[in-house]
Amino acid sequence: MITKTLRVPGAEIHYDVAGAGPLLLLVPGGPADATAFTALRPLLAGRHTVVTFDPRGISRSPITGDPGPDLVGQHAEDVQRLLTELGGGPVSVFANSGGAITMLEHTIRYPGVVRTLVAHEPPVSRYLGELLGDYPDIPAIHREQGVDAALAAFLGASGFEPPPAEPAAAEPTPAEIEQGKRMRSNFELFFSRLMPDIGAWEPDLGALTASATRIVVAVGTAAGTPAHTAGVGLAHALGGEPVQFPGDHGGFSGEPGPFAARLTEILDQDVQDAQDQEK
């Protein structure tokens, strides 16, 4: 795997390239960085050039200037800059959660640049219905009580299972200490800036349905959670049905083998479509 840095206005984007074949970009959600795809990436790199990255303000990709408004829009522009740096050409994208919001915005701004977008459980507030009224004001909790209280409220309201507690080590390694600092910083940005922008994002259904990009809205098996509910609502609004993937909101990490097989199945449809067009 090769790691590179792309300088963009107001930030430095660190990205990783592995494998060979058609370009496949993996976009993490919310406070997550490229390590979210550690288990999934090698299962795809045998058939694709897999690119992972840390979005602006997350982990290895520091913001170097004024953050400015509309972080979702900035993330979408960063994706376009990254795709240009990678040479363009047919590209497929898998994006999870808030990263799926980023890619839906990218599709509106740059229709047809992406061949297939698999948008996994995008938390589009418009489709949350009664769940939205019951959802706590996480940014306010963060402002008033700090990141730990906000994280606990976020996990509880979102229906996410907290990761199992690891046996306490006598002495954390320098790498573990650094990763802990990174994730805490990521959550600070997420709760204060990115989460409000994601919550306020509205889909342009006309632009999305008119785009040459094939949009596949995917959901996991945890029906009734906000992200699953929003994904189903968006799929219906776009005139289709959601495609089910193994596992929950983070199935690509919890069940990487079946998840990679399902994603490969979806992406292989592009190859079949191209062959049918040539006939």
Q: Is the pLDDT of residue 187 over 80?
A: yes
Q: Give the pLDDT score at 163.
A: 56
% of the chain beyond a pLDDT of 70: 92
Q: Is the pLDDT of residue 117 over 90?
A: yes
Structural domains in the chain, sorted by start: 2-130+202-278 (3.40.50.1820)
- Which position has the higher pLDDT, 140 or 65? 140
Average pLDDT over the chain, rounded to an integer: 92
The residue length of the chain stands at 279
Banded model confidence at residue 272, pLDDT cuts 50, 70, 90: low
Q: Give the pLDDT score at 273.
A: 60
What pLDDT digit, counting tens, does each position of 127-167 carry?
Answer: 998 888 888 999 999 999 999 999 999 999 988 765 555 56
Banded model confidence at residue 279, pLDDT cuts 50, 70, 90: very low
Q: What is the mean pLDDT of residues 95-115?
A: 97
- Which position has the higher pLDDT, 271 or 46? 46
What pLDDT digit, counting tens, does each position of 68-87 carry?
Answer: 789 999 999 999 999 999 99
Q: Give the pLDDT score at 23.
A: 96
What pLDDT digit, counting tens, does each position of 230-242 carry?
Answer: 999 999 999 999 9
Q: Give the pLDDT score at 278.
A: 46
Contact 84, 17 (CB under 8 A): no
pTM for the full predicted model: 0.93
